[in-house]
Structure 1
Amino acid sequence: MKSKRTLYILALGIFGIGTTEFGVIGILPQLATAFDVSIEKAGWLLSGFALAVAVSGPFMMMLLSSFKRKNLMAFVLGIFAFSNLLSIIAPNFGFLLVARILPGFFHPVYWSIALSSAANLVSEKEAPRAVSIVFGGFTIASILGIPIATLMADVFNWQSSFILYAVINVISFAGILLFLPNIPIPDKKAAGTNSSIFKKKVLWINLLVACFIIAAMYATYGYMADYLGKVNRMNGKEISILLFIFGVAGIFGNQLAGKFLSKSIYITTLLFILSLGVVHLLLYNLGTEFISVAIMIAIWGLVHSGGFLISNINVTSSAPESREFINSIFTSCGNIAVTLGTSIGGFWIAHFGIHQIIWSSMLCLAVSFLILLLKKTEIVSSDIIKKTPA
């Protein structure tokens, strides 16, 4: 019971961070208009943040490794709240971009501690489900934070969205300080094994699979509000409702992914890639009827939400002996992938138009599929070598 309560408290912090990081997805069109920049340039509010996370990932975790975990997590949430307050008063796009990037450097610290702590609380077999509970904080951010912020920007102004993000982070900050039990600092002797992790071929394969899966997810999802507005002819309130539907479906998708991963990581990853590909093909052929769009968005949310969890379990299963460090590597990989995905998506929009952005995701999915097949070949080859008598 106590371990489950801890998982939900950790998820609360992920909720605050996820709302800040991805909340701009729903208000990119308003921000582009407010600061008189293109939608592709506005996309840097998402990809710039992700790039900061990618660059700082393992280094920030190593730099702050001697500090108490609970205090570190609260500190990170405080930085997130402060950055949102700076965003509210942004006089120009450059200031807003800097305010957005600031918390990105501290983001990996919270994620690494939260995800490794979740896995360490339970047995190896139950780790995917425990991690899925913590990831649920991000899913709930998609359900409540992102669509409500989108609606607030439509009804009031874009600043009101950042006020919401700041409030959520303050609540998460208080929750961590008041209710999270102390988390022990990992044995420093384990740090010596970190360098050997990079010698594992399966780690590099899993990182590439994760990178292209997440890039495929965000190449289209990063411009979801713009796509729904321009291609499907939805207005601001309808987009808010659709984002809410996307998030609600995501709760079930995240839980489903956790259950499937407990049975087979490889098959779950393969099914995810194929399912997301089919979803994107169906999205491409959608019309402008709200009901049909809503049904398709629900299916998209159901599939999409498992992507981060599936990618995380693939990477962390490569080195379960050093969870905190490998989670910082995954955090960097995931955010490089978000940057890659949103950059590819922005390029696609600029050269082929918003409707064709689906094909940028399909390209990334095809690459991830081929790498996954390579992984299977490597596993089979390793098994044959192990079974061959000397």
Structure 2
Amino acid sequence: MQKIFYMKSKRTLYILALGIFGIGTTEFGVIGILPQLAHAFNVSIEKAGWLLSGFALAVAISGPFMMMLLSSFKRKGLMAFVLGIFALSNLLSIIAPNFGFLLAARILPAFFHPVYWAVALSSAANIVSEKEAPKAVSIVFGGFTIASILGIPIATLMADVFNWQSSFILYAAINIISFVGILLFLPDIPMPDKKKRNSNLSIFKSKILWINLFVACFIVAAMYATYGYMADYLGKVNKMNGKEISVLLFIFGVTGIFGNQLAGKFLSKNIYTTTLLFILSLVLVHILLYNLGTQFISIAVMMGVWGLVHSGGFLISNINVTSSAPESREFINSVFTSCGNIAVTLGTGIGGFWITHFGIHQIVWSSILCLLISFLILILKKVQMVKSQRI
């Protein structure tokens, strides 16, 4: 009986991950086709970048509010609805007559993005024991990792071989498949207790929650400060050509799958220690990256190590934040989604500032600075935890 329950739980986790895969591909897949879109709509690459940053900004703003607004709807139907909106958005993008229409079509699903993430991640944690929750959440997060490895490069390839519209056809197809998968195979998800839903805002009184949000924000910002400009760094600093960069990005992504799983296992044992080790490991990775030369083999090994460490950052940040309010998993996951998107915007902004003022080679120090800030906040968290235990 226990084995049957385990198998059903695993199937549910993979269905939820499929939806995350569709959403992640839609959000970040546009990165690979920005030049084609800028050319097609006769706009600058900076303006085309709003297709990504505008999406992230909408997610950051809408997160907790959309979850509160839609909290009374059945969870299975709600997730299917969100995936349907994503599919519709991509279909509208295909027929966009101008850039303004395309931007509006892109931003439309962003407002619903936090709802799926919040419900999917909280459901993953709720169907297993408290101890196994990080592993379960890591499986769902795996959908996002795979979107980075497969969804984005394939969409970019399709745009090169056919046209930019074919990329949006792919995004729409993935979301439609996810939509059908949710409807046919996902079991009904119990509604959270109404009293808990009504007391969501009270969680903001927790000092530990705010500390964890700042830790998460600076960790994710550190990740994206350098990662957001990875291709440019590899080309200008390490002198890699286009084909070599593609291979290196693939290596980074593949090791990332294992890194995500590894982070889940470590988190199941000790959240604080895992977070501390992650910060120190990522600092070391960036220092080694700074001192790399132009040899492809050494860079490939380094990219593999970087991907292994880097990929666990989102999961580690999520578990830190959600562990602050386990009684309000859905709401706190929507808060984390907003925090994560703000952090991505902050990190890429810091990275861009660093490149402008210090040069592309020095960008790793912007990540290290953010990591040191997160380390100091983590120490503050430990002090706060000790005080709470004494009381």
TM-score (normalised: structure 2): 0.91
Counterpart of 2:207 in structure 1 is 201
| 1:140-160 deviation digits (Å, cap 9, x = unpaired) | 112211222233344444443
Tell me the distance in 1 between the aligned counterparts of 2:364 and 2:42.
26
Q: Which amino acid aligns with 1:342?
A: T
Tell me what 1:168 maps to. Answer: 174
Contact kept, 8 Å, 1:40 with 1:347, in 2: the verdict is no
Aligned residue number for residue 22 of structure 1: 28
- Partner residue of 2:84? 78
Q: Is the 8 A contact 1:142 1:247 kept in 2?
A: yes
Q: 2:376 aligns with which of 356, 370, 373?
A: 370
Counterpart residue number, 2:17: 11
Q: Show CA shifts across 1:58-116 (max 9, x none).
A: 11111111112111111111221222233344455544433322211100110010001
Residue matched to 1:257: 263
1:291 aligns with 2:297: yes
* CA distance in structure 2 between the aligned counterparts of 1:119 and 1:164, rounded to whole angstroms: 30
Extract unaligned runs of 5+ from structure 1: none
Q: Which residue of 1 aligns with 2:62?
A: 56
When residues 44 and 271 of structure 1 are mapped into structure 2, their CA distance, relative to the original with a 3 A threshold, is farther
The residue type paired with residue 367 of structure 1 is I
Aligned counterpart in structure 2 of residue 227 of structure 1, from 227, 233, 255: 233
Q: Structure 1 residues 342, 253: closer, same or farther in 2, change over 3 A?
A: same
Distance verdict in 2 for CA 1:172–1:288, change over 3 Å: farther
Distance 2:157 2:89 in 1: 21
How far does the alpha carbon of each residue in 1:345-366 deviate from its partner, in whole angstroms, 9 at most, with x for none? 2333334343333222222112
Number of residue-to-residue matches in the alignment: 385
Correspondence for 1:312: 318
TM-fit CA distance, 1:29: 5.2
- Which shifted more, 11-20 or 183-192? 183-192
User: C-alpha displacement at 1:207, in angstroms?
Assistant: 0.4
Contact between 2:71 and 2:197, CA under 8 Å: does it hold in 1? no
The one-letter amino acid paired with 1:53 is: V
Q: Identify the range of structure 1 (127-136 vs 88-97) with the bigger mean alpha-carbon deviation.
A: 88-97
Does the C-alpha gap of structure 1 residues 358 and 91 become closer, same or farther in structure 2, counting only changes over 3 Å?
Answer: farther
Q: 1:40–1:350: 8 Å Cα contact kept in structure 2?
A: no
The answer to which of 344-353 and 135-144 deviates more is 344-353
Shift in Å at residue 337 of structure 1? 0.9
Equivalent positions of 1:313-332 (< 5 A) are 313-332=319-338
Secondary structure of the residue aligned to 1:198 is helix
Distance 1:237 1:163, change over 3 A: farther
Q: Deviations over 1:124-149 (max 9, x none)?
A: 11111111111111111122112222
Aligned to 1:65, what secondary structure does the other structure show? coil
Aligned to 2:3: none
Match of 2:109 among 67, 90, 103: 103
Give 1:35 shift: 5.6
Please state how far the C-alpha of 1:223 moved relative to its aligned partner.
Answer: 2.6
My pick for the range that moved more, 39-48 or 247-256, is: 39-48
The whole-number CA distance in structure 1 between the counterparts of 2:192 and 2:110 is 24
Aligned residue type for 1:250? G
Q: Which residue is equivalent to 1:131?
A: 137
Return the TM-score normalized by structure 1: 0.91
Distance 1:176 1:374, change over 3 A: same
Distance 2:170 2:360 in 1: 29
Contact 2:61–2:338 under 8 Å retained in 1: yes
Cα distance change of structure 1 residues 242 and 89 upon mapping to structure 2, 3 Å threshold: farther
Change (3 A) 1:25 1:221: farther
Whole-angstrom CA distance in 2 between matches of 1:39 and 1:370: 37
* Structure 1 position 311, deviation (Å): 0.5
Look up the SS of the partner of 2:11 in the other structure.
Answer: helix
**Structure-1 separation of matches of 2:264 and 2:99:** 39
